[in-house]
Structure 1
């Protein structure tokens, strides 16, 4: 075994032990990937728009409690033929009408108020859905970054493996020339080198795929990666992780708001079975074409109405809302179970990855010692070329396993954050402008009129969002 081969093998282990070069200045790190995903995600933008639509549902419900004023203008041509005894008369009149109609709900048993409260609960549920989508977006960015890092390290290890096996082939040829080994030993070295080159090609292809996924998840191509990220703060026990998830996970909180909204809707539909009272007023002027006649009129009154029969529609709406409420309650139970299971799975995954990483570190240490020992024994003729190649492959396999275990531990740690419901830009302290879901809601919750100052503020907000 030549000294060049020994030098290449030592270089391989040194690069691996230091994380393949370590962190470098101005390199992309995990925080950069998370910031990019948060700022460019179309999925987040889509669900923010859905939240704004839910905000408007509150304004629509509020409007039912407000007066309604309609302006009506009508031009009408009337033809009439009347017979009185033997006398037949034809009348042809053209009129113009313009007037205002005013309506105000006075009483509906509280149905309109309940509809507003149900819409508010739906807004709160939609906000939690947005947080859940944010977690999905950020976890995808974590996965994309770690996958790129894994493939980069795999490519580097396989590149060094090709260099080491190239040195081995040259050493085998040198020893064959002086009669120390046979042609079979040279062929073995050539075979292993060819396999190493094929594996390197595959690793480069996997890296290209990982980079493409990074672009999709983060919104830009990856630069030089800064290496494995530091682990985030994690819970001290499984019980602590479950307790936090039950209190905080957006899926649970959203399902709770869905149940409350469904309960309010049931009560609203029941109130709709009762009577309603409206104040109505009209004022207008009617003028006749062809003469100077006109008529000014005004009226006001209180209208009481009670549905007696509507083909069973109202009762069906009550039963339907009750079924939706029952489904929401069942969904809450399922969501709670799924979240708890998700925390258990993520916690076990992290614990397993940590134990596997410890074993892999020991495996790399032992494989390195074995490789160096077999290499020295081969120089004395006590080991064959096949023994050296096998030991070198064992060392490479151990190094690759250690890289995978490091990435797996990091991925499990962030999965545990997501399972607890805290994988958010705010919790992670990302350097981004956090989306404020209350800003738009506060502008529309009182259903501002088109000519109001609040409406002008809304126009500026929509312009800033690029929607007008």
Structure 2
């Protein structure tokens, strides 16, 4: 009686635990949520991605600041004061001065042109950083999405396994009461039932963990998720094609290409101080109650200047600055080389995982088929007395384990596909979605010099800085 009471309480505990899990899963089941919908929410609300997108806006404004140097600067100056003379006595003045000036730079060693080129390269780099961040965030969302689906399947298997154990236990109790089954068989099934009950609790906790991760990535508790369609048609034909596509289109490589271009423009800017600076200046001056040639007068005049300034010596600062920017080109190229290594490594690892999962799937499907046939055969043999209930329970447990491994492999296959697409830099388009607006360039800048340059497979180092004697430093 005491044992039955403990068992009854245990059943109630498992029932409550399962109900809590089901309530958690069904808390937001008003409408099914597809993977595309989840990713779209992420692309619109993810804080990390929005921060990268905001940086693109910063770069756009920096370009406008650089272009401002092409335009003239117009300044207005006004002044008023008091002037007292000791000799002759009693002479007090209230001078007033108004000046309107225009300054237009005509030549500054190509610094303005190269500065605009530098800032535009930073804009392009930032746009591809947005794409890279969007693909990475989408991969995180896809992983969280599939993980929730997998945990839900495993919870279903755990519940099914518990029902099987209860059914076998009831049958053994009936046979034990009639003297057919042994007490040891009953004890063993009760022990395995306790393990099944513990598995229900454990799988429920794992599901809640997966839902929490999903909320952290996507921004809300998962709804009634829909199993996504595999991306089989988007897969490259082989590893060589995957590597080629990654090198051609991965946004991280394109971003680092533009970073190199920006550093090269900065090097050209550093050469500007070796050139003279030409400015055109136009001033209009109004003066009232000012002393001119010992007399008080009102004066109105204008002046126009073509002004040349050329620094002849600057403490070798300009030479050092030029060397600094040359080393920065070295740095940018090595960062690009490292990005190339990382992209190729990611593609190769993802492809190896994908191929291994494809090879495993056929065997795991065969295992499920064989286990199901075995379970059906054991059930029939038990009916005619050729198998024990423990044999039937073992076959049911084998089928549950086989199905769980198959579910995991199917999830791993889908995840490997998403990792490959992320490695190719095309995960968001593969899902039929668009990148954030900040990921696109105006006026089709994809044909710029940085895009035309092929990614350097060999890890070349930038040439050592060479001093070019263009003028005094």
Partner residue of 2:70? 65
Partner residue of 2:432? 429
Q: Report the alpha carbon displacement of residue 76 of structure 1 after superposing the two structures with TM.
A: 4.2
Alpha-carbon distance in 1 for matches of 2:103, 2:406: 74
Q: Return 5+ residue gaps in structure 2 as ranges.
A: 1-28, 446-473
Partner residue of 1:14? none
2:130–2:439: 8 Å Cα contact kept in structure 1?
no
Partner residue of 2:24? none
Taking the TM superposition and a 5 Å limit, the aligned residue runs for 1:36-51 are 36-51=41-56
1:161-192 CA distances to partner (integer Å, 9 max, x unpaired)? Answer: 11111111111111110111222211211111
Residues 253 and 304 of structure 1: CA distance in aligned 2, closer, same or farther (over 3 Å): same
2:109–2:271: 8 Å Cα contact kept in structure 1?
no
Q: Secondary structure at the match of 1:272?
A: helix
**1:301 is aligned to 2:302:** no
Alpha-carbon distance in 2 for matches of 1:199, 1:361: 24
**1:355 is aligned to 2:359:** yes
Alpha-carbon distance in 1 for matches of 2:391, 2:133: 53
Partner residue of 1:457? none
Alpha-carbon distance in 2 for matches of 1:384, 1:132: 58
1:280-327 CA distances to partner (integer Å, 9 max, x unpaired)? Answer: 2222323349x9854323222122111123333322221111111111
Residues 431 and 282 of structure 1: CA distance in aligned 2, closer, same or farther (over 3 Å): closer
Alpha-carbon distance in 1 for matches of 2:392, 2:60: 69
Alpha-carbon distance in 2 for matches of 1:432, 1:305: 48
1:36–1:220: 8 Å Cα contact kept in structure 2?
no
Tell me which moved more, 401-410 or 91-100. Answer: 91-100
Alpha-carbon distance in 1 for matches of 2:72, 2:434: 46
Partner residue of 1:245? 246
Alpha-carbon distance in 2 for matches of 1:292, 1:438: 62
Alpha-carbon distance in 2 for matches of 1:292, 1:209: 88
Q: Secondary structure at the match of 2:427?
A: coil
Q: Report the alpha carbon displacement of residue 259 of structure 1 after superposing the two structures with TM.
A: 1.0
Partner residue of 1:399? 403
1:35–1:432: 8 Å Cα contact kept in structure 2?
no
Count matched residues. 413
Residues 437 and 73 of structure 1: CA distance in aligned 2, closer, same or farther (over 3 Å): farther
Partner residue of 1:133? 133
Partner residue of 2:330? 326
2:75–2:101: 8 Å Cα contact kept in structure 1?
yes
1:254-300 CA distances to partner (integer Å, 9 max, x unpaired)? Answer: 111111111121112112222111112222323349x9854323222
1:55–1:441: 8 Å Cα contact kept in structure 2?
no
Q: Return 5+ residue gaps in structure 1 as ranges.
A: 1-23, 82-86, 443-468
Q: Report the alpha carbon displacement of residue 375 of structure 1 after superposing the two structures with TM.
A: 4.3
What's the TM-score, normalizing by structure 2? 0.80
Alpha-carbon distance in 2 for matches of 1:432, 1:281: 49
Q: CA RMSD in A?
A: 3.0
Q: Secondary structure at the match of 1:64?
A: helix
